[in-house]
Structure 1
Amino acid sequence: MSSGGWRPPQGYPAARRDEEAGFVYPSPSKGDVRISEPYLWLEDPKGEETQEWVKKQVSLTSKFLEEKCDTRDAFRDTLKGLLNYPRVGVYSRHGDRYYFYRNSGLQNQSVLYRYNKPETYLGDHIEENTETILDANKMSEDGTVSVKHTVFSECGNYMAYSVAKSGSDWCEINVMDVKNEPTSLKDNLEWVRYSGLTWNNAGNSLLYSRYPAPKLSSGDGGDMTPGEEVDQSQNQRLYYHRLGTDQSEDVLIAEDPKNPHYMFSCAVSNDGERLLVHTSRDCNPEHLLSVSTNFKDFEAGKVDSVQLTPVVDDWIGSFSYLHSFGDFFLFMSNCKAEKYRILGIDVNDPAPEKWVEVIPEHSEDVLNSALYVKGALVCVYMHNAMERIEVFPLNEEWVNKKGKLEDSWDVELPGPGGISGLEGSHKHSEFFFSFLSFTDPGSIWRASAEDRSSTRVFATQLGKDAPDLDACGTRQIWYESADQTKVPMFVIGTKDNLEKCFDLPANDTKLPVQLYGYGGFNISLTPGFSVSRLIWITHLGGLVVVPNLRGGGEFGKGWHEAGQKEKKQNVFNDFIYAAKYLIDKGITTPEQVAINGGSNGGLLVATCMNQEPSLFGAGVAQVPVTDMLRFHKFTIGHAWTSDYGCSEEGGFDYLIEYSPLHNVKKVKYPSVLVTTADHDDRVVPLHSYKYVAELQHIAGEVDNQNPLLIRIDQKAGHGAGKPIAKTIEESADVWSFIAHALGCKWNK
């Protein structure tokens, strides 16, 4: 059961409160409202006071984890042992050769390999006939430099790749000649962020987006490295870079100075004739679409700039380019289709009434992604948060008529689960994907649109000391939220524990639960494998519960919108009622429920702890958004207003109702651990700093209070590119903290 209260012997580190600081916000119901900001000084990451406060918090949390969390060493050692198995990414074909990422087990970063003998295929020959192309482990001693993206030219002779440091979203683009022996070229593109990489068809030029160089000094005068700054990301521009030239010579393709928050991405049509430019304004799946009228002339040097003609000039949906047949372009779109569909548009005559519905919106399933391969459209559909693959052949007759597709076939999968890494190209009929589930560490599959075959080419095998996966299972349960909306959730545990919970008569067995949620930005939580969760299930006797909250994309646009802006409370209610369901069914008790989530999911955890502190035994909010009145002021936060709204644009009344920073109560909280990192330039650390300072100030003095702590990592960011060594340490800290709070004992 719960570990009981705890208070630092010397008290929590003092955080100066500036009672004079504050801002006035326009309230639609109350007029101008002033809100105090006593910890505004914590927004300066290099401020002397901030640095001293961080140092003391790190010391306090480290001491608690070391002295109180008695499962920490066992969890770390077990995780390190279980992670020491080969993991392989989805294969992709470029030219006549295959590329894939592989991690031997405990390498900090996965390594990119090339496979040179496709006739013998892959799978059992994974160690043979391969050569190393790119090894990020050689870029730093501690593994904190990572490769974010690799994109190959159409012919397969060149590879562009982006490199990030310390987990920051900032990256640099480099180029490698991979026709023969991998050779680095002199091209180097800086200040790239939130950018795709797109080759022209000739393979001699690259399109990318970048920002102006940031200001790297703080108000206190301290110097920062990229990723530590908090200023808004503004004025992204799309550029065209010719190989062998300096970045200063790159040609500007698109910008919008009147709308500095707009962002740009692009695609080149498969015949190389057209450039498509997408303009987005926030995180909503909708954008503007323009197509060039003179791209080939520009590439040939006949004109100096690219002329763009609008195809979609209003925010009516998303249009993801798939393939083109002359002027007839295929797009995956949610325009007038909540669950997405495939549209055909003549870019020379793009009036909406002339669009062709190639694959209609499915009546039940959400079209999650689509890919064109030679002779077919490969569609990944999601049904009740589990995925399947349906293939629609495109024969010559269809190419001539360009109408609705009627024929299709399903790729046979091992069972219910999730799909990731769909790879293929218009030059070949084969495609690759990864299948995995909560109890399946994953396998790589090759399928053919030509002969309708599918073959497993690599199966992940855990080490000999791994728990028996056949003894673990998953149930999907539906429960009612506060407004009677039915919400599904996955429950993962040993089969014995699942049987006790759902199949046998009521008993006194109460199990510890990790309740994990997200609920936002149209992101779906589909089945995925985690070694840390496996340890929790088998060594600590717990259940993992993953509800598919509103705000996600599991059931289409309506499900997403039901968790946006003034409806955000639906998300919190869904999460709270998941816990109540488990408690009411006798599966667990409030003292044995730990809630966990990251980023928007961290906001979820912090809010639910404020609203229902007695319902949980622990809360771990990882890299959370907590200041809902000022989030849009920092880095990319302005893009989140699509989900959250904005305190300065009509959203104050509902944001102030739940903003974690502004709703801390003087009551007993569950054991709280907030995590952040010094180079998180997605959700900047000031969110965590200010929330924890307020939490320790207001709730820290309550009698028998549980620990209220913050874990602050160094040379790390929002999560992407984190080296294995850091991942192991963080996982051991988080899970042992949960185990301590819930009173779990280690079972060997």
Structure 2
Amino acid sequence: MLKEFESAQAQPIKYPITKMDDVVDDYFGTQIADQYRWLEDVHAPEVAAWVQEQNEFTEHFLNNCSFRQKLCDELEMIVMGETAQPPFQIGKRWFQFRAEVKQDQMVLFCGSSARDINTVLLDIDKLSEAEGEPLILGATAISPDGQTVAFMVSRGGSDWSIGRFRDIPSGRDYEEQITGLRLTRLSWDSESKGVFYFQHEISKNGDYTFAPYRPDGVKYHRLGTKTIDDKSVGGLTIAGAVLDPCVSEDGEYFLLQGQDITSFRQQYIFYRPAADLDAEFLLLQNPDKSPLSFVGSKDGYLYIATFFDAPNGRVVRVPALDPSVEKWVDVVPEDKDYPLSSAGEAAKLVGEFVLSVHENLANNRILLTRLDGRETKVIQPPLEGRLGSSSGAYLKIEATLSADGKEILFPWTSPFIEFATIAYNIETGTSRFLGTPRSHLDFENCSSEVIWGTSPDGTRVPVTLFFRKDLCSDLPRPVMFYAYGHAGFSVALKPYRPERVVWMNNGGVLAMVHSRGGGEFGQAWHNAGIGTNQQNTFNDCIACIEAVQQSGWTTPEKSCFTGASGGGFTTGTIMTQRPDLIAGSLPEVGLFDMLRYHILASRATEEVGTSETEEGFDTIFGYSALQAVRNDIPYPSTLIFIGQFDNRVNPAHSYKFAAALQATKQASERPMLLRVELDEGHGTVRRASIVRSRADFLTFAAMTTGLKVSDPVS
């Protein structure tokens, strides 16, 4: 441990006082105390005061670290610099998202040509100032004629958003605003007259923070009219499902893609001709209710990525007039070695081809297949990595044909590269970087290595290490383990993060654990880590930590563990089940009170389990981090992150877990800290907030593992 970490603890740590309640719940004859139940009332003044005390305490503790400012400076150079996304054309106009140096959120510009995109169309920071609200820009959608932008804004990063509209030629906003939007988008009709959207029941008291999912159905809003007059579309509502509306790129079909909120799985596709709002919907669904997603449509056929009768996924062609399973024809057959991605879009129609995305541990394998399925090529990018996406946690394939139709362009990323555009020549089969990859690492001096651990049931589990070769010649090194292990997502879905760059630039090693519950090896791998199999996820992570330590790369004193959301859940469980394996724990937006998971406004009960049944209680009690905390066990030093307006993971999980850890005997010697990001939700969005949050994250990780922080890399 670093000397200044030890000096920060020269005196016993005295935490803010947290009161305890005499609350006891009975779970099928087992009595469980819940001393911090009062912290579940997150809007209560006394809870707000407690949060303020916790934040002040954490700030004071971290401020004792001399290299905190160095880390902040390096992050600021990476995060707050000038940045731009590729320009795109809709109608006769060109658009581009850009941010100037130290600008908090991206600004949408428009112009008449690709070389003249200089008119500010949407600046959310200025809108926030004008309206006196901390607004966050969500999804945007330009009408097909390029005349109107529909955009979603939320307060403090909440999932609850409001849909608004701006006339592009005049820059003026329309009066109407659509409320009750959550985990949806605004999708224009093909004539640019209005948008489709999925609405939840509107909260009677105006507080949406932790309102449950109560679908009110798909609706259509005609631009320039009152939203109260919006018409329901098809009368479709499915209990426990969110329906995402969209119009196919060829304009032929209006689709509703349904995700089951208890499992994260997309299980339904309803569709009908886009030109006929009164037509009956047809249903596409896997007979076994396994995941499926829309790929595209052309010449009377739908192309669907499906995991039915194919645990590793395949792409099929479906006659639009008869979508019965018997009529499905394989276009991209199942690959036994490289499963389709199951986190969002798995494939996309690009010209006369299907571009499909397959998992290959931390990397993607990209295939290009003709629509008749007769020819498939493997795209070999210049460097290993993954398909880039600007769509949050879910993969959105942003591949397009070049203007001359000879190349396919798509974004590329990796732990070493923030952003690059790959141009793949269809005729020659070669690929190149279009422009210079954006990176804050000497990526040609970076490397990776795969190590395999063995779980208690004999399953071999890989962990991929990423590092700078010139800084890791001497072992052992500080290693930051990262895991997710949920929802069929690959742990490397979003590989590039600024804190990882700074970590590696200072000689740290990043270790991504490909545990069961993720999607690295298809649906069987995913299913082996959910529900009653959830413990496999944690066993896999423990096995990988031990394997990396036994290989000589690191030691328990130089190891820390982190993960966010489902990965935060994993982190809390790892640190309570095997506290001896790591020196630092940094769970973010995690689930810790699993006995009350179904009560605290959460949803994926099929994925992680529920205590509502005796069998479910027996299972979930074994890995609920809050109830696992014991007074006499020395847990690793811990810094918990949560957003004030997180309504995917209730902040009460983090509040109660922090309070329980601070009450343990060893907490006077090992810090147990809570950091609540005000005016943010499920993850930090604004760039200035990212700098502050990631600087504290790295400060704590370095303090606990002994990472030596150098001067910022210019």
Q: TM-score, normalization: structure 2? A: 0.89
- Quickly say closer, same or farther: Cα 1:709–1:254, change in 2 above 3 A: farther
1:343 aligns with 2:333: no
Deviations 1:604-634 (A, max 9, x none): 1111111111211110111111111122223
Counterpart among 122, 126, 138 of residue 134 in structure 1:
122
For each residue in 1:185-214, what CA deviation from the matched residue of structure 2 results, as whole angstroms up to 9, or x when unmatched? 334211210113222211212111111222
- In the alignment, is the contact (CA less than 8 A) between 2:517 and 2:537 conserved in 1? yes
1:99-139 deviation line (CA, Å, top 9, x unaligned): 33223343211122346435xxxxxx6xx554433222322
Give me the whole-angstrom Cα distance separating, in 1, the residues matched to 2:592 and 2:338. 33
Contact map agreement 1:323 1:331 (CA 8 A) in 2:
yes
Judging changes above 3 Å, is the alpha-carbon distance between structure 1 residues 50 and 340 closer, same or farther for their aligned structure 2 residues?
A: same
Distance in 2 separating the partners of 1:350 and 1:641: 30
Determine whether 1:371 maps to 2:363.
no
SS at match of 1:185: coil
**C-alpha displacement of 1:461:** 4.4
Residues 256 and 262 of structure 1 are in contact (CA less than 8 Å); yes or no, is this contact kept in structure 2?
Answer: no
State the partner residue of 1:423: 398
1:678 paired residue among 636, 641, 644:
644
Deviation of the 1:733 alpha carbon? 0.9
Indicate conservation of the 8 Å contact 1:116/1:130, yes or no.
no
Contact 2:62-2:68 within 8 A present in 1 as well? yes
The residue number in structure 2 matching 1:603 is 569
Contact 1:366/1:382 (CA < 8 Å) preserved in 2? yes
- Contact (CA 8 Å) 2:465, 2:510: kept in 1 or not? yes
The equivalent residue for 1:279 is 258
4+ residue segments displaced more than 6 Å: 425-428, 450-453
Query: Is residue 92–residue 145 contact of structure 2 (8 Å, CA) maintained in 1?
Result: no
CA RMSD of aligned residues (A): 2.9
The 5 A counterparts of 1:576-615 are 576-615=542-581
Find the aligned partners of 1:201 and 1:318 in 2 and give their Cα distance. 28
Distance 1:662 1:256 in 2: 41
Distance 1:349 1:75 in 2: 58
Aligned to 2:104: 108
Q: Provide closer, same or farther for how the CA distance between residues 488 and 610 of structure 1 changes in structure 2, counting only shifts above 3 A.
A: same
Task: State the partner residue of 1:265.
Answer: 244
Contact 1:109–1:143 (Cα < 8 Å) also in 2: no
5 Å-filtered alignment, 1:511-526, equals 511-526=477-492
Closer, same or farther in 2 for the Cα pair 1:58/1:483, shift >3 Å? same
Q: Which residue of 1 aligns with 2:392?
A: none
Query: Match of 1:744, as an amino acid?
Result: L
Matches within 5 A, 1:408-419: 408-419=376-387
TM-superposition CA deviations, 1:140-172 (whole Å, max 9, x none): 249942221122333444332211221111111
Deviations 1:391-411 (A, max 9, x none): 2234xxx4xxxxxx1113343
Stretch of structure 1 that moved more, 270-279 or 575-584? 270-279
Where structure 2 has 5 or more consecutive residues not aligned to the other structure, the ranges are 390-396
Q: Is the 8 A contact 2:338 2:365 kept in 1?
A: no
Partner Cα distance (1:498, 1:75) in 2: 20
Note closer, same or farther for the CA distance 1:215–1:548 as it changes in structure 2 (3 Å cut): farther
- Which residue of 1 is the match for residue 466 of structure 2? 492
**What aligned pairs does 1:4-23 form with structure 2 within 5 A after superposition?**
6=9, 11-19=14-22, 21-23=23-25
The count of residues paired between Structure 1 and Structure 2 equals: 689
Query: Mapping of 1:98-497 within 5 angstroms?
Result: 98-114=94-110, 116-118=112-114, 129-141=117-129, 144-178=134-168, 180=169, 182-214=171-203, 216=205, 226=208, 229-253=209-233, 260-270=239-249, 272-282=251-261, 283-292=263-272, 296-298=275-277, 307-312=280-285, 316-368=289-341, 369-394=346-371, 398=372, 405-421=373-389, 422-424=397-399, 429=405, 431-447=408-424, 456-461=433-438, 468-497=442-471
Deviations 1:626-649 (A, max 9, x none): 1111222233x12x1121122114
Cα distance in 1 between the residues matched to 2:235 and 2:452: 46
Which structure has more relative contact order (CA 8 Å, sep 6+)? It is 1
Aligned to 1:140, what secondary structure does the other structure show? helix
Of the structure 1 ranges 262-271 and 482-491, higher mean CA displacement relative to structure 2 is found in: 262-271
- Residues 445 and 51 (structure 1), Cα distance of their counterparts in 2 relative to 1, 3 Å cut: same
- Spell out the pairing of 1:680-699 with structure 2 (5 A cutoff): 680-697=646-663, 699=664
Kindly indicate whether residue 57 of structure 2 is the aligned counterpart of residue 60 of structure 1.
yes
Distance 1:413 1:353, change over 3 A: same
Q: Does 1:43 align with 2:62?
A: no
- 2-structure distance, mates of 1:683, 1:375: 42
Which residue of 2 is the match for residue 95 of structure 1? Answer: 91
**8 Å Cα contact 1:680-1:718 kept in structure 2:** yes
2:496 equivalent to 1:529:
yes
Report the equivalent of 1:71: 67
> SS at 1:366's partner residue?
coil
Q: Does the C-alpha gap of structure 1 residues 446 and 207 become closer, same or farther in structure 2, counting only changes over 3 Å?
A: farther
Residue in 1 that maps onto 2:393 = none
Residue type at the aligned position of 1:266: P
Q: Take 1:41 and 1:53, find their aligned partners in 2: how far apart are those partners?
A: 11
Given residue 105 of structure 2, which amino acid in structure 1 is its aligned partner?
Answer: Q
Distance 1:545 1:365 in 2: 21
Pair 267,745 (structure 1): closer, same or farther in 2 beyond 3 Å = closer
**Contact 1:233 1:634 (C-alpha < 8 Å) held by counterparts:** no
Residue 424 of structure 1: how far off its partner (Å): 4.8
In structure 1, give the amino acid aligned to 2:529: G
The 1:545–1:672 alpha-carbon spacing in structure 2 relative to 1, beyond 3 Å, is same
CA distance in 1, matches of 2:260, 2:45: 36
Partner of 1:710: 674
* Alignment check: 8 A CA contact 1:201 1:270 kept: no
Partner of 2:686: 723
Pair 66,571 (structure 1): closer, same or farther in 2 beyond 3 Å = same
Counterpart amino acid of residue 210 in structure 2 = V
User: Partners of 1:455 and 1:702 in 2: how far apart?
Assistant: 54
Name the SS of the counterpart of 1:440 in structure 2.
coil
Task: Report the Cα offset of residue 487 of structure 1.
Answer: 1.9
**SS where residue 665 of structure 1 aligns?**
coil
Give the Cα separation in 1 of the matches to 2:282 and 2:445: 58
Matched-pair identity in %: 28
Q: Determine the C-alpha separation between the residues in 2 that align with 1:160 and 1:230.
A: 25
User: Residue 655 of structure 1 aligns to a residue in which SS?
Assistant: helix
After superposition, the Cα gap between the structure-2 partners of 1:713 and 1:587, relative to the gap in structure 1 and judged at 3 Å, is same
Question: How far is the alpha carbon of 1:551 from its aligned partner?
Answer: 0.9
| TM-score, length of structure 1 as denominator length | 0.85
Match 2:608 to one of 615, 623, 644: 644
- TM-aligned CA distance change 1:90 to 1:566, over 3 Å: farther
1:234 to 1:633, Cα distance in 2 relative to 1, 3 A = farther
User: Is the contact made by 2:79 and 2:687 (CA closer than 8 Å) also made in structure 1?
Assistant: no
Distance in 2 of aligned mates of 1:136 and 1:547: 37
5+ unaligned residues in a row in structure 1: which ranges? 26-30, 119-124, 218-223, 299-304, 399-404, 501-508
SS state of the match for residue 418, structure 2?
Answer: strand
Q: Could you tell me how far apart the structure 2 residues matched to 1:315 and 1:90 are?
A: 40
Distance 1:478 1:291 in 2: 44
> 2: CA distance between counterparts of 1:645 and 1:81?
42
Q: Which moved more, 1:283-292 or 1:711-720?
A: 283-292
